[in-house]
Amino acid sequence: MALIAPSLLAADFLNLERDCKMVNESAADWFHLDVMDGLFVPNISFGLPVIEAINRVATKTLDVHLMIEKPERYIQDFKAAGADVLTVHYEASTHLHRSLQAIKAEGMQAGVALNPHTPVSLLKDVIQDIDLVCLMSVNPGFGGQKFIERTYDKVRELKGMINEAGSNTLIEIDGGVNTDNAPKLIAAGADVLVAGSFVFRAENQIGTIAALKAI
Ligand code: DX5
Ligand code: ZN
């Protein structure tokens, strides 16, 4: 049974409070919040004031995924906005180890996200410092894209690396997750499943979250 993290990128922003309350009442474990700067990814989503507002109504862990250049500039700000897990991209971080320590010094869990083209082996020397690795199973920037099948092998390889290091690092999968690929992802070693459009485009959102949670 994995942790389920609905991505609010696919929520109805005119009814954000309603959608947050739906997640509160559902079997979901975390809120997944996608921050995009229009530079690291070719899209702009939402930022600090929106997360602050979500934090006022959300009763579950806020899992903030920063798709921004030089994320180390904003670590304290996202802590103040309510982030519990803060994930930076490997590809956007020149001094990744320093950023991870800074996130943990603020009392948050430290995550690292990898783009589909980035090999998991690049995390070998820092895996013990990472609370969560977010494997992107689509190219970051947009919801509703097709799941990249190669991800299963990356999950298995990463799981092996984590076990070998004796680390507690969680593996999160982000992009194109649904009830078809979730069983195979969990079998490969995934701990956290992010789902955006699969949840929010469903007629029965609570039921869809429950179905993912039951896998
Ligand atoms: C993509 C984001 C994802 C996105 C997932 O850049 O990081 O979190 O919201 O959306 P779906 O589940 O629709 O692929
Ligand atoms: Zn994300």
Relative to the CA of 65, which ligand 1 atom is closest? 7
Ligand 1 mutation pick, 68, 138, 173, max ligand atoms within 8 A of CB: 138
Of 154, 141, 144, 134, nearest to 64 by C-alpha is 134
- Closest-lying ligand to the alpha carbon of 175? 1
Residues with CB under 5 A from ligand 2 (ion): 34, 65, 174
Q: Is the ipTM of this complex over 0.85?
A: yes
Residue carrying the six token digits 């076990």: 163
Query: In angstroms, what CA-CA distances link 124 with 56, 121, 128?
Result: 37, 5, 9
Residue 113 CA, ligand 1 centroid: distance in Å: 13
The binding site for substrate comprises 7, 65, 141-144, 174-176, 196-197
pTM: 0.98
Dump pLDDT digits (tens) for 159-173: 999 999 999 999 999
Residues in the chain: 215
Distance of CA 127 to the CA centre of its chain: 17
Contacts of 33 (CB under 8 A, 6+ apart): 7, 8, 46, 51, 54, 62, 63, 64, 65, 83
- Active-site residues, by number, are 34, 174
Q: How far apart are CA 4 and CA 213, in angstroms?
A: 6
CB 82 within 8 A of CB 63: no
Name residues of the chain where pLDDT drops below 50.
Answer: none
* Domains detected in the chain: 3-213 (3.20.20.70)
Question: Given this model, what pLDDT does residue 207 score?
Answer: 98
Q: Is 198 in the pocket of ligand 1 (CB under 6 A)?
A: yes
Query: In angstroms, what CA-CA distances link 184 with 7, 91, 103, 153?
Result: 20, 27, 31, 11
Question: Given this model, what pLDDT does residue 156 score?
Answer: 98
Residue 192 CA, ligand 1 centroid: distance in Å: 13
Q: How far apart are CA 109 and CA 9, in angstroms?
A: 21
Residue nearest to ligand 1 atom 1, measured at CA: 140
Q: Is 140 in the pocket of ligand 1 (CB under 6 A)?
A: yes
Question: Given this model, what pLDDT does residue 106 score?
Answer: 98
Query: In angstroms, what CA-CA distances link 73 with 69, 88, 191, 213?
Result: 9, 11, 29, 35
Question: Given this model, what pLDDT does residue 192 score?
Answer: 99
